[in-house]
A and B are shown apart, each in its own frame.
Chain A
Amino acid sequence: MRLAKLQRVSYPETVAEAIQILSDKKRGAVALSGGVSFVFSPLQSVEELVSLSRLPLNYIKRKNGGLRIGATTPIADLVTSRAVKNYGDGILWETAHRIGSTLNRNLITVGGNLVQPFIWSDLSTVVLALRAGIKIQGKKSRDLSAEEFFTRLPRQFLKRGELVTEIVFPPFPKNYRAAYEKFTLTENDFALLKVAVVLARSGRVCRDVIIVVGGATILPQRVLSAEEILRKKIGSQILVNEASEVAAEEIKVSRDIRCSEEYKRDLCRALVRGILERILLDQKVPEWKLF
C-alpha cells in the first residue's frame, strides 16, 4: 500500500507555521505542494503531509525589471501572466507553456518543479540560465543563486524544516537575448533534452553568455567551455559550430532508457547550434532544421 504510514495531513496558513511542523523531528512530516511527484513516487516512511496550498506563496510580482514568483504558484499561472511573457525574451513563458498538459500545469507548482526534479523537469534549465535566486526559509533564512541551488539534489541539502519560498528573477537588460528549445517525441511528452541560452550582445560581439543543458542529467548543467569559446568574440558560423561541438562533448549524460548517450549528444549539438544561430547570428532557423 502506498503511504502506508501516513497518519495526518496538516494545513498551515503561514510559512512560520509550516516550518514549525516540518522542523519537528518526531512528526516525520514532508511538505506537499502540487503533489504530482508525490503520487508518482511516494516516500513510504512519511507520517504527516504538510499541504502548502494555503500559504501566501501563490504570486507573480514584477520588481525593478525582474520577477518574484512565489513557490506555490502553479505553472498554469506563469502561462497566463503577461509579466512572465514579457520577461527574458519570453523564455520563462515558453518553458512553462511547454510543461506537460494543461491539466498537469494546473497542479505542478514552481517550487515543486525545482525541489523535486526528475530528468525531464523543465523549469530548472531556464531558472539557471536566467541567473535566478532561490529564497529558502527555515529557522534561518538563506538566499542561494540558482548555480548554488543546482549543485546537488535539493532534497540532499535542504535541511529539516526548510522550504523554498520564492524564486527571484533578476532584471533582464535590453541588450540581452534568450532562447529555449526542448526536444520531445510528441508535443506533450517528457523532454529528452532541452537547452537554454542567455547572451548579451553589442552588435555581433557576444559580451556575455550562459549555455545550460537540461535533461542530460537530473540537474541542469552549464557548459562553461562552450561559453568561453563565444565570450567577447564576434559571432560567426564557425564559432557557433565550434561551441555546439564542445557543448555536445562536454556535457555529462546519465543513463536514460529512452535513448542512447550518443543520441543525446547529437541533440545537444543541434539544439545549441540552432539557438545560437537564431540569437547570436540572427538567422531564422525553422524548428525542423534544428535536427
Chain B
Amino acid sequence: MKKITLKITINGRKHTLRIDPNLRLLDLLRDELRLTGTKEGCGIGECGACTVILDGRAVNACLILAGQCNGREVVTIEGLTGKDDLHPLQQAFIDHGAVQCGFCTPGMIMSAAALLDQNPTPTEEDIREAISGNLCRCTGYTQIVEAIQAVADDN
C-alpha cells in the first residue's frame, strides 16, 4: 500500500509521518507512536475508551482515519500535562476513588478535560452529558462525576 504524508501535532509536538492511508488515528497513536494511554475498547465509537481531544473537541480515535487529521492538533492522556505532575483531573480521580479497573479512565479524563476547557463551571448534568459516550463497566459513575465536579468547583 502506498504511504501518505501526514503532518500532525500530537501533545504539542509536530510530527511529519509516512503512514498507510487506511490507518485509524487510534492505531497511529498506539502502534506507531506508542502512546498506549489511549485504549481500544469496542472499536465502533460506543465505549469511549479511545477518547482524545482533536482541535479542542473530545472524539473517538477509533472512528477517525489518521489521514483526516492532517494539519490538526491532537491531545492524548499523555499530553494532558507537560510535566511529571498529575493533571488536576487525574489527581481528583485518585482522591475520589474514581478509578477501579482503570480501562475507561483515560477516556473519561479526556472527555472531562474537553468539557472543562469549554465550560470551566459545568453543572452535574453538563458533566454527565460530557461523559455520556464513555462507558465504565465497574459502574463507578458517581465517583467519576464527583471527581470532575471537584475540579470544576476549584475553577
B57:A9 contact, CB within 8 angstroms = no
Given the interface contacts A1-B22, A2-B22, A35-B68, does A8 sit within 8 Å of B63 by beta carbon? no
B62 at the interface (CB under 8 A from A): yes
Interface 9-residue window, one of A101-109, A128-136, A175-183, A191-199? A101-109
**For B62, what are the chain A residues with a Cβ–Cβ distance below 8 Å?**
39
- The answer, yes or no, to whether B67 is at the interface (CB within 8 Å) is yes
Q: Which of B21-68 contact A (CB under 8 A)?
A: 21-22, 24, 44-45, 48, 51, 54, 57-60, 62-65, 67-68
A contact residues around B106 at 8 Å (CB): none
Docked pose: A11 CA to B24 CA in angstroms: 17
Is there an interface contact between B21 and A101, defined as CB atoms closer than 8 Å?
A: no
- Chain A residues whose C-beta falls within 8 Å of the C-beta of B58 in the assembled complex: 102-103, 106
Does A8 lie within 8 Å of B4, measured CB to CB? Answer: yes
Give chain A nearest CB distance to B125 CB in angstroms.
12
A103/B4 in contact, CB under 8 A: no
A11, B111: Cβ atoms closer than 8 Å: no
A168 CB-CB contact with B under 8 Å: no
Q: Count B interface residues, CB 8 Å.
A: 30
Q: A36-B63, A107-B59 are in contact. Are A102 and B45 (CB under 8 A)?
A: no
A3 at the interface (CB under 8 A from B): yes
A4 to B71, CA, bound (A): 24
Contacts of B1 in A (CB 8 A): 4, 6-7
Chain B contacts for A69, CB-based, 8 A = none
Q: A103-B48, A104-B45, A104-B60 are in contact. Are A9 and B65 (CB under 8 A)?
A: yes
- Is A51's beta carbon under 8 Å from chain B? yes
Judge if A66 is at the interface, Cβ distance under 8 Å: no
A39-B4 contact, Cβ under 8 Å, with A11-B70, A102-B130: no
Instruction: Find the A residue at minimum CB distance from B119.
Output: A80
Give residues in A with beta carbon < 8 Å to B. 1-4, 6-9, 11, 32, 35-36, 38-40, 42, 49, 51, 53, 74, 76, 100-104, 106-107, 187-188
